[in-house]
Amino acid sequence: MAKYTQLAADIVKNVGGKSNVISLAHCITRLRFKLKDEKKANTDVLKAMDDVVTVVQSGGQYQVVIGPKVGEVYDEILASQGIKAGGGDDAAEDDAPKKPLDVFIDTVSGIFTPVLGVLAASGMIKGLTALLAAFNIIEQGGGTYQVMSVIGDAFFYFLPVFLGLSAARKFKMSEFAAMAIGASLVYPSLSTIMQGEALYTVLSGSTFESPVHLEFLGIPVLLMTYASSVIPIILAVFVGSKVEKFYAGVVPQLLRNFGVPFCTLLTMIPLTLLVVGPIATWLGKAIGAIATGLFDVSPILAGVFIGGIWQIAVVGGVHWGLIPIMIQNIVTYGADPVVITMFGTTFAQIGVVLAIILRTKDQKLKGIAIPAFLSGIFGVTEPAIYGVTLPRKKFFIISCIGGAIGGALVAMLGVKLFIFGGLGVFQYPCFIDPATNDLSGMYNGMIVSAVAFAVGFGLSFPLYKDEAPAPAAAAAAAAPTPAPAPSAQPAAPVVEEKKIEREILKSPLTGNIVALADVPDEVFSSGLLGKGIAVEPTVGKVIAPADAEVTTLFPTGHAIGLLTDKGAEMLIHVGMDTVKMEGRGFKTHVAQGDHVKQGQTLIEFDIDMIKKEGYPVITPVLVTNHDKYKDIVTTDGKTVNGGDNLITVVV
């Protein structure tokens, strides 16, 4: 983990420091911060880090996308930065009002992310057991089969206990008290009682008709099957956290250590069995029934919709809202035919990525795309989305089309998810019906993945081409140094060619000159991102300061990165915090990868709108690879017109 010490320190510093962290969790690819003030985070700095894929602000969370090594980075943050799992210096929630959807997504992801790894692993073991039994490699019912079943089933059977722990951390309840409530839901004697003869039936003739097998203080107990359930324990711990807080305020300090748990359990376990559990179970069944009912109206359209929007939901981190429905359907109906229509999206994504790998001559892009393709095979698509397809919007759309076609095919072939487990190719065994060992679902799942992959690859391969290169001499100077090949000329002269002369960079803006130290953002004023100068623009237009390649163009249009033909790397950032305008008031005239001529219009922006929304319009113009040069000399004028000399790079 030591190799991530500096990365951990840089991440914590740029999310606003330890004191700004309310909570921290992680999923398969993302560090999920809950911050007191997201405005204190230096998003652009984080995005620029080599080991950070991107940053997503969604669902009330500040998500730093790392990729497959996220677990190691998370552990290093806990070990070296003094942040405890689940919180920072002060885990108190801020009082700012939150959108209901943000609260829901934050709650669900906060409860499920700690158990996701074991949840997926247990599902993979269940799928492997079914696969081995279906191919008669192990005898169904034999000793090996039974031990494998124990390994795969134990976590799911006692899921209320594990979710009780993570829900307690989320709702700030005593962890062991919450686990005790979860354990009560799967207490073996209750299952035995349910198998006996009912005393009588309540709510007869309604959807909620239930047999009564025992009473508590004369009140009928509506026993439900809570093994593998999700909603009952989450709701029980939420209520329990309020009950525990009440008792903590009334039980004398001397008795609080055992008195609060005593009163809480004595209240909550009967309340859960009598009220909370049945209501939550009915609620879960209703949600599952609604989802299944909508799916039954038009399975193909539902598949197209879910498959098509799934990757968009992943970008926003809101796909978590559908995970409980998937699990609830498996628990209630034995399988999920609805949410699993997203299955093909992974393979559509990697189909697009493989086409780009085969077509591109950009070695830097290949360096990003190849590991993204490999992780995508196993179901982790964020590196592919953020690193390859999303910056090239057309190809992200193609991956969504492939996902939509895959979703329609899942519905048409009747593929169902019987086990919540692995991702990507590891999900194939999860389509085997464990009751019958029917392999048709697995084979149909393979067909879906092949078709989705073919769509993504087939549409992308003929369409993709690297952006038109610069003229030969400029391209040679702008290209990264390649690894020497047996027949290739040594790359060193190219590097030297970039440094043989000074470069004068023209002003990309018209306006008033501002010293970089006076920029009202310490990330820029400190020179952390590069050396240069700033302009308070009077004309809402950014032009190219030199002949250059567009290396970075933010989707919001507020910032652009350039690599000049003579080797200077530049960042032009229009305004402060203007990323929050989400593109309003900005119009881009170029695309990432374009080669532009000095004076060519890059971006137009509405100065009045930026100021009206409360953001400074001051614009830093930086040379980010300044460490390669002897000096960066800026103009000493007070005003500047677009195209005037602004910065001289001294070799």
Report pLDDT digits (tens) over 608-630: 999 888 889 999 999 988 888 88
Predicted local distance difference test score (pLDDT) of residue 236: 93
Residue 595: how many other CB atoms lie within 10 Å: 21
Predicted local distance difference test score (pLDDT) of residue 28: 63
Q: How confident is the model at residue 357 (pLDDT cuts 50, 70, 90)?
A: very high
Predicted local distance difference test score (pLDDT) of residue 319: 66
Task: Determine the distance from the C-alpha atom of residue 537 to the mean position of all C-alpha atoms in its chain, rounded to a whole number.
Answer: 36
Non-local CB neighbours of 175 within 8 Å, separated by 6+ positions? 165, 168, 169
**Rounded mean pLDDT of 406-424?**
87
Selection from 517, 510, 505, 644 nearest residue 569 by Cα: 505
Each residue's pLDDT tens digit, 317-336:
566 667 777 877 787 778 88
> Which one has a higher pLDDT value, 634 or 56?
634
Predicted local distance difference test score (pLDDT) of residue 406: 94
Selection from 96, 76, 95 nearest residue 85 by Cα: 76
Domain 2-97: assigned CATH number: 3.30.1360.60
Q: Is the pLDDT of residue 485 over 50?
A: no
Catalytic residue positions, numbered: 27, 573
Please give the mean pLDDT across all residues of the chain: 82
Q: Left if phi > 0, otherwise alpha if psi is -120 to 50, otherwise beta: which for 552? A: beta
Using alpha carbons only, what angle is made at residue 513 by residues 512 and 515, rounded to the nearest 5 degrees? 145
Q: Is the pLDDT of residue 160 over 70?
A: yes
Q: Is the pLDDT of residue 349 over 60?
A: yes
Residue 228, helix vs strand vs coil: coil
Q: Is the pLDDT of residue 93 over 60?
A: no
Domain range annotation of the chain: 2-97, 158-295, 298-463, 496-650
- Burial state string for 611-650 with b = 16 or more CB within 10 A and e = fewer than 16: eeeebebbbbbbbbebeebeebebeeeeebebbeebbebe
Q: What percent of the chain has pLDDT over 90?
A: 30
Residue 160, helix vs strand vs coil: helix
Q: Is the pLDDT of residue 264 over 50?
A: yes
Task: Please give the structure tokens belonging to residue 538.
Answer: 């009077």
> Contact 601/541 with Cβ under 8 angstroms?
yes
User: 496-650: what CATH class?
Assistant: mainly beta
Which whole-number Å values give the CA distances from 130 to 93, 419, 433, 434, in the listed order?
44, 10, 8, 6
pTM of the model: 0.52
Q: Is the pLDDT of residue 603 over 90?
A: yes
Residue 650, helix vs strand vs coil: strand
**Rounded mean pLDDT of 625-646?**
87
Packing angle, helices 299-316 and 393-413, rounded to 10: 140
Q: Is the pLDDT of residue 489 over 50?
A: no
